[in-house]
Amino acid sequence: MNTPNTPVPDELAAVRSEIKRLEERENELKRLVLDNPDVRTGASWLAEVKTVETTRTDLKELRAVHPDIVDQFTFQVPVTRVVLSGITEDGEVVSARKLRSMAQ
């Protein structure tokens, strides 16, 4: 995928696109495994379906009932992101979503 003349942002966009495609395929395959026990045994792998209990907190409800407690334990943290914008053929900077829709 990486060619010597590919700019870093372009390669990053291509990698993100491939990740999205692979995640969509993963979801399709998981659905097949869940819906059809006959496909759970492969040549090298066995897919097992397991259910576990997990604990979640309803933060919206907790804020509504106990706002002071939530405020006491709420804090901001810095998050660094790399946001890609598209560049059209005429050099205009547009959102990645808009550039993807223009390509279709």
Query: What is the pLDDT at residue 27?
Result: 98
Tokens of 80: 């660094």
pLDDT in tens, the chain (104 residues): 556 789 999 999 999 999 999 999 999 999 999 999 999 999 999 999 999 999 999 999 999 999 999 999 999 999 999 989 989 888 889 888 888 888 77
Question: How far is residue 60's CA from residue 48's CA, in Å, rounded to a whole number?
Answer: 34
Question: How far is residue 99's CA from residue 20's CA, in Å, rounded to a whole number?
Answer: 16
User: What's the 3-state SS for the chain?
Assistant: CCCCCCCHHHHHHHHHHHHHHHHHHHHHHHHHHHHCHHHCECCCCECCCCCCCCCCCCHHHHHHHCHHHHHHCCCCCCCCCCCCEEECCCCCEEEHHHHHHHHC
Query: What is the pLDDT at residue 1?
Result: 55
Query: What is the pLDDT at residue 3?
Result: 65
